Structure 1
Amino acid sequence: MDFGQALEALKQGHKVKRAHWGGYWFIAEGAYCGEVVNEEIGLCAQHTMNPMIVACLKDNGGYAPAAPYQGDLLAEDWAIVE
């Protein structure tokens, strides 16, 4: 699939990747714990995150904001991750 189709798949809740990638992209959104308010009871201040495309890096390398290169935009080897 091309980048436009991959973007639509992301919007539908799928994870996507390029054929040669070890990681994948997904859309993250919702609430997260911004700062711990009371460690004793595990209370944290909730923050809301706007939807953003996140890259899950290969080999448990963590997460980072996803930013496509021109090659990614023009590629036709995108696939949905099951």
Structure 2
Amino acid sequence: MSKWRKKSVVIEAFKWTGDQNQSEDPVWINEAYRRGDVRYDGVGTNDMEMFISTLEGVMTARPGDYIIQGIEGEIYPCKASIFEKTYESAGEIMSFGAAVEALKAGKRVARAGWNGRVMWLTLVPACRYNPSDVNSLGLEKLPWIGMKTADNKFVPWLASQTDVLAEDWQVIE
């Protein structure tokens, strides 16, 4: 039998508490409720359930389950024990512009699809390098963006158009 590994994708999810006033409900779950794709039963009781219409039929969520919005906008529940073994936080996802601001603030950033915490970018201040030819030419030293690569090298980095337009940037701690 062949084995399979999940591709590295970023999903949105929240842990459903069953509380009607749950403040962290994302917009997409409220929109699904308005469309009729999500309904509740037992509101205000200890037996409250959420019913989610999916391509595979109606799935039931109970308080403590995670509710996931997948890569194509599909919504489905996942038991907390499975979710916590399958997913890890991707951090706050941001645009390239926000990633540049994070770099300027001294943070490391990476794209969600890069090799986990192995590859990242950082802003290298002008004072960190001192090539003799730059000094001998009397040129002003400026900061630059450096990349820590998967094979443990540190190189200057240049953004591709895909990187600039991506919305999957995150701060790496």
Tell me whether the two structures share a fold, i.e. TM-score over 0.5: yes
| Structure 1 unpaired stretches of 5+ | 36-47
Superposed structure 1 runs of 4+ greater than 6 Å apart: none
Question: Secondary structure of the residue that 2:109 maps to in structure 1?
Answer: strand
Asked if 1:53 corresponds to 2:149, the answer is: no
Which aligned pairs between 1:1-82 and structure 2 lie closer than 5 A?
Answer: 1-22=94-115, 23-29=119-125, 30-32=127-129, 34=131, 49-60=141-152, 62-82=153-173
| Structure 2 unpaired stretches of 5+ | 1-93, 133-139
Which one has a larger percent helix, Structure 1 or Structure 2?
2
TM-score w.r.t. length of structure 2 = 0.37
Percent identity between the two aligned chains: 39
CA distance in 2, matches of 1:33, 1:7: 24
CA distance in 2, matches of 1:11, 1:74: 19
CA distance in 2, matches of 1:33, 1:70: 30
TM-score w.r.t. length of structure 1 = 0.74
After superposition, the Cα gap between the structure-2 partners of 1:59 and 1:12, relative to the gap in structure 1 and judged at 3 Å, is same
Task: Give the letter for the 1:19 counterpart.
Answer: A
Task: Give the letter for the 1:57 counterpart.
Answer: T
Which one has a larger percent strand, Structure 1 or Structure 2?
1
